[in-house]
Structure formats: structure tokens, C-alpha cells
Amino acid sequence: MRNALVVATVAVPLYTAMLHGWIWANRRREQAHLWLAVAALGVAGIAFTSVGRSAATPSGAADWQHGAMAAGALLLFGFIRWCHAFLGEARPATERLCDALAAITLAGAATESFFTDEFVMRPGLASTTLGPQALLSPFGYAVVGGFTGFTGYIAWRLGHAARRSRAARAPFVAYCVFWATLFHDVGVGASLFSAPMILPFGYMAMLMGMSAELFGGFVRSMGAAQRAASDLTARAEEEGAALRRKERQLLHGERLAALGTLAAGVAHEINDPLAFVSSNLNRVEESWSDPRERREVPEILNECHEGLARLRGTVGELLRLARRRESETVPIDLVEVVSSVLPLVRAEGRFRARWTEFLTAVPEVRGDPGLLAQVALQLLLNALRSIPEGAPRHHRIHVATSSEGGRVCLRVRDSGPPIPAEELPHLFDPFSPMAAGDDAPRLGLAVTHQIVTSHGGEIEIESDERGTEVTVWLPIARAAAIPRASDAAS
């Protein structure tokens, strides 16, 4: 049992020093942990030298006691600073006095000036077995008096703080235990009574009490940090959800704006079938009154069905593009998506350019059909807007699909004026000059770029005197799994 206690007087302070040293290494602003680690090393040194003195010969006892004085200097150096850091005080003058005393102590230990050649037999650590102990010299008494003065100063500061703060009460109680063991060993040393030396246990109790308060504060701060991190995560998720909602609103608004530019062309796409159906119905009325012409009625009705189907397809595509819904990620035939958009822009473009289309079959991609349709619509509108009205024979818009290197490609090329070279690097910036002004020929490229990249794809733009070509690359469905398109803003 005694051996276990003796080992604990050394092991516990060393463990305490490592624990608080590690905490300080990770939280440099909390200086109290650093100075408690330094003080713990001093306590470990005092305990170790006490064990050594108990087993030493009379001639070697003074050497162990000089080592104890050096360890005490380290303890005092760290303990004064721990007290100030723990209480949040700045007392540089007191710390300088402590430093001077510590330096004098180290010098005295190095020159072996603390003890005389005389010794007495005193009980050892946690034992009544007598061991040699050298007597203090006058210089030693003076230094020990200085140590006593600083320990009293620490007791005064902790006691004063304990009256105002609950956090200081546990360290003050632990310090009182240390003082009790100190006076106990003074009584033993003065031969007032005979008992084992227990001061190292007092050091250990003091250290554990102060460590418990500091470590408790560390644990509480970690808990507070965890709660703050949880709150921050929850807030980030809320902000992210709000941002995604805003993003969906932006995408929907951009889609409606693009459809708005097609008003004239869409009206033409609707009016032509309606006029065709109306004319055919008049023919049915006329033919029905003449038995000889009734045989033409089925053919006329079939033509009406074709016109209505064309009308239903146009209206359906408009509704599909304008409908606001949650994004979904499904396998998509890009040719089908582009083909569904082309009827909406052909009428708008009949006064601007001729169309050439090479929509070859390509592998499926994964993504949101509505968003990819918006990409195709925006690219076609940009191509149209780059070409002035009035000379369709002199301009051309080329649309093509292909698959290359495990990716699907959509190319839209127009023969309009080139984009200035200095503006090409900034086309996808929503605040670039290209996105400002009603006369900007290419709108919505920032949103288009965002949609494409959210589908795991890329978009490239080349422009020269022959016109501008926009190329969209998307991964084949079996080659890459992409994130949800609704995560474009996250």
C-alpha cells in the first residue's frame, strides 16, 4: 500500500502535467493550463526527491534535498502564474519577484548552499522509518521564508476569489489541504510529534483539486462548443434550404423570362393550327350539305386532328417548361429534350435565320428534364437574339447532338456578331456587363452555367468572326452519378 502511494505522488503529477500540457497545446489562449502543467512538473520533482531522500545515506541526503529545492523553484514559478491566469489577474511585479526568488533558489541548489553538513533522522514519506535529513543553512532559511511568503500570497488571492466566485472555491479548499499537510510536516520537523511526512500528498491533493476545476471548465467549454456547432449546423442547414428555395425561384423566374421572349412565336404556333382547324371545320359544314363531297369529311377531320395535336403539343410543352415543381434526377434522352424545345423557337426565329438540325441519337444522361430543357431553350434564345431580324437568308443557327469520350454533347452555333474577346472569361458572371442592359445578346448564361455544372457537366463558348458556338458536355448516365439538380445552389 505504501509503495503504491509513493508511486502515485510521482505518477499523478506527471499525468496532470501531460494532460494540461496537451490541452494548452490545442488551446493556446488558455494559459492557466500551461502554468498548471509547469507546477505539476515541480510537484513530481519534489515527490521524487522525497522518495530518494528516504532511501539515501547521510552523505547523499543533502543532494536529494537540493534537488527538492530546485523542483520547488519550478513549482513556485508555475504556480504563481497559474493563480493569476486562473483568476484573470495581471500582476507582473509579483511575478518578477517570484522569478527572482526562483533564480536565487536554482543558484543555491547548484552551489549546494541550502544545507549544512549536519543531519538528523526524520520519518520518511508515508512511513515511520527514520531517514537522514540535512539541516538548513541560514541562506536556506531565508529562501524557505520567501517560499512561505509566496504560498501565503496565493492563499490570500484564492481565498479572496472564493468569496466572490464559486469556480475558485474548489481550488481554495484543495490549497487548504496542502497547507494542513505543510503544517503537519513542520511539526514533525520541529520534533513536536512523531509521524510520517505527508507534504507530497498535500501537493498532490492541491494539484488534483485545481486540475479538476480547470478540466471541468475545459469539458464545459467543449460542451458549449458542441452545442454552438450543432446550432451553427442547424442554422447552416436552414440557410442552405432557404438558399435552395431562392435558387429554384431564380431558375423558375429565368425560365418564365425566357418563355416571355417567345410570346410572338408561340402565338404564331398556336394561331396557325387554330386557323387551320377553323378553316377545315368550315369545309366540313359546306361538304356535309353536299352528298357528293361528304366522302372528303373523314380526311378533313383527320387534318383537324393533326392540327389539334400540334396545338396540344405546343401548349403542353409551354406548360411543362413553365410549371414550377421539385427537381428530380432521372435518365433523360437529350435529343428528346432538345426536340421538345425547338418548336417553340422556330417561329420566333423565322425572321432571323435558317435552321439546321443534326440531332443524332445519343446515350441517356441523368438529370432534371425541366432544367435541361431550360438550358436548351436559353441557348437557342441566345443564338436567336444575337442575330438581327430582316435577313434570314444570310444567317444560320445550327443545333447538333453527339457523344464523345463517355460524354454527351449539345452544340448550338449561330452566325451572329462575335462576342468581344475581353468579355469571354466573364460570361458566366451574373454581374458581368454581358448580363446587364436590355440589348445584351446573351442572357441567363450564369444560370445556364449553374444548371450544367450541377449536372456534373461543362459548358464552353467559342466566338470568332464566323459566329459563336456554345457546347454543353454532360456525363453519360452509366458513366457518372451526379448530384441532385436542386443542389445547384448548395
Per-residue pLDDT tens over the stretch 209-219: 888 888 887 77
- Whether the predicted pLDDT of 488 surpasses 60: no
- Give pLDDT tens digits for 66-108: 888 999 899 889 989 989 998 888 899 999 999 999 999 999 8
Residues in the chain: 490
> Stretch 144-169: mean pLDDT, rounded?
88
User: What is the CA 90 to chain-centroid distance, rounded?
Assistant: 36
The answer to whether 128 touches 194, Cβ cutoff 8 Å, is: yes
The alpha carbon dihedral of 461, 462, 464, 467 has a sign of negative
Query: 10 Å Cβ neighbour count for 466?
Result: 11
- Give pLDDT tens digits for 336-395: 989 888 877 776 677 788 888 999 999 999 988 878 888 888 888 888 888 888 788 889
Name which residue leads in pLDDT, 39 or 192.
Answer: 39
Name which residue leads in pLDDT, 232 or 325.
Answer: 232
Please give the single-letter amino acid code of residue 165. Answer: S
- Whether the predicted pLDDT of 430 surpasses 70: no
How confident is the model at residue 315, as a pLDDT? 66
Name the nearest CA neighbour of 369 among 398, 338, 408, 392: 338
How confident is the model at residue 4, as a pLDDT? 67
How confident is the model at residue 480, as a pLDDT? 42
Phi-psi sector, 43: left (phi>0), alpha (psi -120 to 50), beta: alpha
How confident is the model at residue 489, as a pLDDT? 34
- Give pLDDT tens digits for 26-59: 877 788 889 989 988 988 888 888 878 777 777 7
How confident is the model at residue 257, as a pLDDT? 59
Average pLDDT, the chain: 79
The answer to whether 214 touches 20, Cβ cutoff 8 Å, is: yes
Among 2-11, 292-301, 310-319, 366-375, which stretch is predicted with the lowest mean pLDDT?
310-319
Name the nearest CA neighbour of 470 among 365, 385, 368: 385
- Give pLDDT tens digits for 445-484: 777 888 898 889 999 999 988 899 999 999 998 744 444 4
The answer to whether 330 touches 371, Cβ cutoff 8 Å, is: no
